[in-house]
Structure formats: C-alpha cells, structure tokens
Amino acid sequence: MVLHFLIQGRVQGVGFRWFVHREASELGLRGWVRNTEDGDVEVVASGEPDDLAELRASLKRGPRGSRVDRVIEHTLAESEAEELTVFRIDGAW
C-alpha cells in the first residue's frame, strides 16, 4: 500500500521531518518526507496497512512544538512504490 500525506499547520522549523523519519523508519516503511514551498510537509510512504495506520496517527499528533491543523491523504498506485527505498528526508538543507 502506498499513501501520500500533506500535513498542514505549524509543521516547518519544529523538527517535523526528523520526527516523521524516525517514526517511519521504526515501522519499516519505505518512502520520503519533505517540506513544501507553501509551508506544509509532504510524505509518501509504502508499507503494510497497519504500519501506515500507525504513521497516520503519528502525523496527526506531530512532534512537540508543532501544531497539526489538517492531514490530507491520498492512496497512490502500487507502481509508485517501485522507486521507493529506505525512508529518507528529501531536500534537507
């Protein structure tokens, strides 16, 4: 299963990407997390439905100092997972 999440709120400058990386890695998910130019955080994750449900719950909670206002979720085609490797932070600068 492959899911795309867009997390809105106070999610940049609060360690959100590192939080997602840790959570996803612990669950054995593949994919990536990155900041968007609009101030949101975007996540693509591939794995078992139960593990993705745990990630979803973590995204809604966020790390200390963050404020999650909205999580938008879409299911992607399985073919989207073919290029995904170990979970990583994209564009960490």
User: Is 17 an annotated catalytic residue?
Assistant: yes
- The residue type at 12: Q
Answer whether 29's CB lies under 8 Å from 47's CB: yes
* Non-local CB neighbours of 23 within 8 Å, separated by 6+ positions: 54, 55, 58
DSSP structure class, residue 91: T
User: Is 34 an annotated catalytic residue?
Assistant: no
Q: Single out the catalytic residue among 22, 35, 56, 61.
A: 35
The Cα-based distances of 58 to 5, 16, 37, 62, 82 in angstroms read: 12, 11, 22, 6, 24
Q: Single out the catalytic residue among 10, 17, 30, 88.
A: 17
Active-site positions read: 17, 35
